[in-house]
Structure formats: C-alpha cells, structure tokens
A and B are shown apart, each in its own frame.
Chain A
Amino acid sequence: MNVRFYVWQRLTAAIMAPLAFAHLIVIFYATRHGLSAAEILGRTRGSAAWAAFYGLFVAAIAVHVPIGLRTVLIEWTSLRRRHCNMAALAFGLLLAVIGLRAVAAVVLP
C-alpha cells in the first residue's frame, strides 16, 4: 500500500458509504411495498439517475476492492508483487464488467 492507493481507497470508501446506505433503503422500500420485478424495471429503465447512481457505485467498488485485495494477496500469499498487482487488477476489471453489465440490464430501455 502506498499513498496513491491509500487516497483512492479512502475516496472510494467515502463515495460507497452513502451509496450503500441508499441502496439498503431502496431494497427496504421495494420489499415493504411489494414491488414486482416488472415494477422495479419500469422505474429504472431509461432512468439516467439510476444509471448514474449504480454506475458510480460499481466504479467505486471496482477501484476500492482490488486495492484491498492486493494488500491481502501481498500479506497472505507467497505470490510475487507483480503477480499480486495483476491478480488484483484482473479482479477489479471483472467486478467492473459484471457490475456494469448488471447496471445496463436494469437501466437500458
């Protein structure tokens, strides 16, 4: 971990904290009001606001998680530093792809 990773990890954590809280409220609202999948998709599809909300969430996660994972790999495995970097980067890209794919599935009209 160096100062660059530290700043990005703290910055993305600060972004994720309110987004995670809002996400929990959304889940709570949807279940309390018995919204069906179709009703939820009716509200999210074509919505730039939901696309921005969950797009930002995914982007923050795709930056935050690999930084922490890199530290775990360095400290808990015997992998070389370069391999830890590559594995963490690959996992971040995977999170970005599957996350943005999920966002696209609920917001694209």
Chain B
Amino acid sequence: MAAPLDVLLWRGGSNGRYQIYEVPRRENQTVLDVVTWVQRHLDATLSYRFACRVGMCGSCAMTVNGRPRWTCRTHVSKVAGGGRLTIGPIENLPVIKDLAVDMTAFFAKWQAANGVFAPSATRAAPIARIAPGKASRRAADAAIECINCAVCYAACDTVRWNPAYLGPAALNRAWTLLNDERDAGNAKRLAVIADDGGCYVCHSHQSCQEHCPVGLNPTASIAGLKRRAMAAYLKGKIGS
C-alpha cells in the first residue's frame, strides 16, 4: 500500500492558515476525493464547494500546489509530487471559509459585461439557421464551453492588480454573444467592454488559456473583442 498523502488545507477566512492532514493514498484518486475524505473522516466542519464531480458544473475550483485547478478532474498522481498536496481557495475572490470563496464579484462582472443573451426574435419565430462553417459561428463555438469555474479569473494577474477589470471569463462570454447572430444586445455590450475595466485592460499574459480546464482560449476572445471594439469606435458606433 502506498504511503499516505500529506495534505495541507486552508482553514479559516482570509486570515486563516494551512493545517496538515494525513489522507490514505488510492488509485484513481482526485484532489476533490482527498478534500471529501478529510471532510467525511477527519473534520466535518471543513467547507468546500462541489456538485457534479465530472467537470461540468464548475463549482470545485481550488488552488492546488499553487495553481488554480478543477479539483474533480485533477488526479492526485499528476500533481502530488513527493506525496504532498497544498490545497487552498482560489485567488482573486474573497474567502468565505476554508476552500469556499465568495463568487459574487465574478458573476456580477458577467452581468456587467452584458453576458446575458438579448433575443432579437420571439419564441414564435422560426429557429434561426446559422451555417456551422460560418466564421462568426466558429468563433462563438470555440469559446462557448465555459463552465464558469473562475479558474481563469483566479489565474489572471490583471484581475489581481485591477479590481475593476471584468476578467477573462466575462469577456470570453461577451465574445460568444458578439458572434451570435441572434443576439440584439451588441451595441450596449461593445460600449461596456470598450470602456475602462473592459477588454483593453488585458495585457495578454495568457494565464487564462494556460489554466483553463476545458482548453478554451479567453486571450484570443479578448483579442477579438479589442479588434471589434476598436473598429466600432473608429466608425463612431461607440464613444468612450
């Protein structure tokens, strides 16, 4: 039987500290399994967030050995070098308790970036036919699979430096809607993302695409937004 894991878990709020736990090592063990084992067997007061356990819901993001990751799809064998795991809450969001962070600012920025679909037709209208090969649809498809896990937001240095920055996830969402022919909210959306806190705050560090668990490239989406917003500005369609 393999030696047990030394697991350091963040306990408390923003002024908390890491506490060490010993967890049995198993085959096919994810980081979320480790956290759950601690909660079920060692300390029932441990707070953390998860739902689907299969990489769909985006609830279980944590900082694992210094990197933001989706813990339900992160195998211990890939990250626990030396049999040691350090698991903390994700960065750039306030800690509520232990491994759970307050996501309010993250989702508020989705709203601020007009990340909600604005229909241009009623439900009585026929289904829009958009060719799969069309450039705008391909651009939207490439960015659409975001699971709202906030890993990119936690990995972004610019979010850390500038709290007004909307962040990669909200801007990536805006990019998908900007390329959605059925959406009618793009004038308002472009005005917001071209303003202070919008796409031009991005320094293209590319941490978002480096860390995105589902392999999206928000940096490319933001680059697209920069081009689209600049064209709109030069044509006088938006002011700033």
Contacts and interface: CB of A to CB of B under 8 A. Distances in A.
Interface of A: 1-7, 71, 74-76, 81
Interface in B207-240: 226, 229-230, 233-234, 238, 240
B167 interface: no
B59 interface: no
Contacts of A4: 233, 240
Given A3-B198, A4-B233, A7-B230, 14 more contacts: A1-B196, A1-B200, A2-B195, A2-B198, A3-B194, A3-B230, A3-B233, A3-B238, A4-B240, A6-B230, A7-B233, A7-B234, A75-B161, A76-B161
SS of B interface (majority):
helix
Contact of B200 (A2, A74, A76, A81): A2
Contacts of B234: 7
B238 A75 contact: no
Contacts of A75: 158, 161-162
B162 A2 contact: no
Contacts of B162: 74-75
Interface string B175-205: 0000000000000000000111010110000
Contacts of A81: 196
B125 to A, nearest CB: 33
Contact of B226 (A5, A6, A71): A6
Interface in B141-172: 158, 161-162
Nearest to B194: A3
A3 B240 contact: yes
Interface of B: 158, 161-162, 194-196, 198, 200-201, 226, 229-230, 233-234, 238, 240
B230 A1 contact: no
A7 B194 CA distance: 11
Contacts of B161: 74-76
A88 to B, nearest CB: 13
A74 B230 CA distance: 22
B130 to A, nearest CB: 28
A3 B200 contact: yes
Contacts of A1: 196, 200-201
User: Which are the 6 A-B pairs with shortest beta-carbon distances?
Assistant: A75-B161, A3-B194, A1-B200, A3-B233, A6-B200, A4-B240
Residue among A2, A3, A76 having the largest count of chain B Cβ atoms under 10 Å = A3
B134 to A, nearest CB: 26
Contacts of A7: 230, 233-234
A5 B198 CA distance: 12
B194 A2 contact: yes
A15 B69 CA distance: 43
B205 to A, nearest CB: 12
